[in-house]
Amino acid sequence: MLLLRLSLRNLLRQKRRNILLGSAMAIGVAILVVANSFSHGISDIMFNKIMRYVTGHVAIRFNERGGVMREIFRDRARALEAVKGEPDIEETSEAIAMFARAIGNGRSDNIILVGADTKKPVSREGLRELEESFRLVEGSWDDVNGEKAENPVVISAEKAQYLNVKMNDVLRVRFRNMFGQDQAARLTIVGIMKNDNIFMQPVVFLELGRTKELLGFRPYETPSLSLKIKDPQKNAAALADRIHDRLKPGTAAIYASAAGRAGRRPVTLIGFKSDDGSRKKLSELLKLSSGSFEKAFRKEGVILPVPLARALGVSAGDKFTVRYDRKFERTPREARLEVSAVCGAGAYPGQDVVLLYDSGFYDLYYDDLPAGPGPGAKPYTAEGPWGALAAPEWVLLKRTYNTDEYKLKYQEIARNKWKGTTIDVSTMYETASDILKLESVLNIITLSAVLVLFFIILLGVVNTLRMTIRERTREIGTVRAIGMQRNDVHAMFLLETFFLTLFSSIAGVLTGFAAMKLVSLITFHPQDNPLGMLLVNGHLYFLPTFFGIAGSVLLIIAIAAVTAWFPARRAANMPPAQALGHFT
């Protein structure tokens, strides 16, 4: 306690010098706090105010037949089952959007039509976040659910101005639905919103159910899923891993009956993969008695085993009919198939199995999902070498953990041209890890600049401490003569530097908060400027964190202590007799 009182008293003895030095240190701390809060605010905007609405904290994406613009999964209940029972999930949404050409009053432009689930109850916090991100200047979100207007939508003020439309006007749109068919529709404007993000200005919101209907979704089908979760930075990756494990596919199979000239037989239709490696392996496993692999390796290719071909009364080049029950429709589906080859010997996967080229097989499988194998029957499972050759229900893409891996994964999709639906489970931290890198780069640049400033300031600390020691040399000799130990003298000077740095840091933090408050009061009006996405309601957004501020203060205190260590040790090692005889 004596050392603490002496240190604080000595700081007060040299007020002018310490105030000037402390002010310089406070300015440096304030700059560091403001810069770190701004860079963290940018990340928060990108992740929680932009990426969360675009992809969700965790996204489950379905791309049918390798088409990245064909986001559809044919069994909605099964997709939702994969996320069921997860306590970390706060909200599960169907994410759907499509590009369209909108025609207004004498003007036309591209828009992005986004399905919004406006019928779902929203918490007060969620409503506040929605209003911050998409500020309605006319109309109401409730009007999107109205039945009076034809396809009611909310449009951005910038897009409405460009298209020369206003409230209650009709937009005519042309678009291509989920199955490649050109469509047209009429949209009625019931709301106009403002958004600082230039990339969100082309977005037009339409109620989710109407959007799915326009795109051709059936009630049991779903687009990609977007999940909002608790504490995403902590839970997102683990949750995505668990969902990924639940989505491992089985063998895709159609349980049907086949009819030929000789009669009808129950059969199981299995697809075989069409890549070069699978074709080569298939050619090695099967020995054909009629037909050719050349015909079998086409989209309509069909291979039968000899016993089944005889039972149906067909051979290569003949046609037969298959009939199977559909999972979601009451009436069965019928299809006419032509035999491309008959397998006489080899490792065939089953005597009642019909092999189809995967492209043609998936046409049947996805257009009308087949019912299960029936009561008491086991689902077909490809075994042995056929486990790698049989077409799966879908292709589950591997988990990735940063943006670079994510890009490589989608390059692989384009390269492999999978015929089955691909499923990708990812978090927003993986799809946009470059944003985290941006925050780190901004912090490093800021820290480097401020450290240069602090090293200059700390040179002043060293010089000030040396001058103080020189001026107080006889005082050091006196306290040493009456019994103060070297370590106590050393600690006293270190404590003086510590308190000076601590008080300066506290003042710097308060100054930084005051500066952020003042700057955040300034309203900006960006027009078609991408930097507008960094604003919240037209204001700069700062997000200080306890650990960020505490880390900055501790870093500065540590640097100051290290800087003061050697002058303080020199003062402590001074012989008392020499110190008492010193004259300034």
Q: How far is residue 258's CA from residue 326's CA, in Å, rounded to a whole number?
A: 15
Same structural domain, 19 and 111: no
Give the C-alpha separation, 438 to 39, whole Å: 8
The answer on 322 and 298 residing in a single domain is yes
| Domain boundary residue, one of 191, 225, 246 | 246
Indicate whether 429 belongs to any domain: no
Could you tell me the strand order of the sheet in which 253-259 lies? 286-291, 341-346, 302-305, 353-357, 264-272, 253-259, 319-324, 333-338
Quick one: pLDDT at residue 130?
A: 66
Q: Is the pLDDT of residue 267 over 90?
A: yes
How many separate domains does the chain show?
3
Q: Same structural domain for residues 221 and 311?
A: no
Up-side HSE of residue 324: CA atoms within 13 Å toward CB?
25
Are residues 339 and 222 part of one domain?
no
Is 176 part of any domain?
yes
> Could you tell me which residue, 460 or 521, shows the higher pLDDT?
521
- Among residues 201, 223, 246, the one where a domain terminates is 246
Q: What is the pLDDT of residues 363-402, one digit of tens each?
A: 999 988 999 888 878 889 888 889 899 999 999 999 988 7
| Domain closes at, from 217, 246, 275 | 246
Q: Which two tokens stand for residue 269?
A: 């239709």
Does the residue 461 lie in any domain?
yes
Statement to judge: residues 107 and 31 lie in one domain: no
Domain that holds residue 35: 2-50+434-580
Verify that 209 and 259 share a domain, yes or no: no
pLDDT at 434: 61
Q: What is the largest CA-CA distance in the chain?
A: 124
400 domain residue, yes or no: no
Residue 559 contacts residue 502 (beta carbons within 8 Å): no
Note whether 465 and 567 are within 8 A (CB): yes
Distance of CA 568 to the CA centre of its chain: 52
pLDDT higher than 60, residue 88? yes
Where does the pLDDT of residue 73 fall: very low under 50, low under 70, confident under 90, or very high at 90 and above? very high
Q: CA gyration radius for the chain?
A: 36
Q: CA–CA separation, 104 vs 171, rounded Å?
A: 5
The reply to whether 329 and 462 lie within a common domain is no
CA separation for the pair 159, 161 (Å, rounded): 5
pLDDT in tens, 100-146: 999 999 899 999 998 888 777 766 666 666 666 677 888 888 888 88
In a domain, 407, yes or no: no
In a domain, 150, yes or no: yes
Q: Environment class of residue 556 by beta-carbon count within 10 Å: exposed (0-12), middle (13-18) or buried (19+)?
A: buried
Residues 70 and 140 grouped into a single domain = yes
Count CA atoms closer than 13 A to 30's CA, side-chain side: 18
State the pLDDT at residue 164: 93
Whether residues 362 and 231 fall in one domain: no
- Which position has the higher pLDDT, 563 or 159? 159
**One domain, residues 167 and 210:** yes
CA distance 519 to 522: 6
Same domain flag for 229 and 324:
no
**What pLDDT shows up at residue 334?**
94
Per-residue DSSP letter, 378: P
pTM of the predicted protein model? 0.75
Residue of 447 and 409 predicted with greater confidence: 409
Cβ-proximal residues to 173 (8 Å cutoff; 6+ apart), any chain: 100, 101, 102, 103, 111, 113, 184, 185, 186, 187
Are 239 and 282 a contacting pair, CB within 8 Å? no
For the four alpha carbons of 356, 72, 409 and 383, in that order, the dihedral sign comes to: negative
- Reduce the DSSP state of residue 17 to 3 states and report it: helix
Over residues 498-516, mean pLDDT: 89
Do 77 and 25 reside in the same domain of the chain?
no
Among 43-57, 261-275, 400-414, whose mean pLDDT is lowest? 43-57
Check residue 457 and give its pLDDT.
Answer: 66
* CA torsion through residues 336, 341, 345, 346, sign: negative
421 inside domain: no
CB-count exposure of residue 136 (10 Å: 0-12, 13-18, 19+): middle
Any domain includes 128:
yes
At residue 208, does pLDDT exceed 60?
yes
Q: Which residues 6+ apart lie within 8 Å of 120 measured at CB?
A: 91, 93
Q: Are 252 and 270 in contact (CB under 8 A)?
A: yes
- Position 233 scores a pLDDT of 81
3-state DSSP: the chain helix, strand, coil percent, rounded to 5?
A: 50, 25, 30
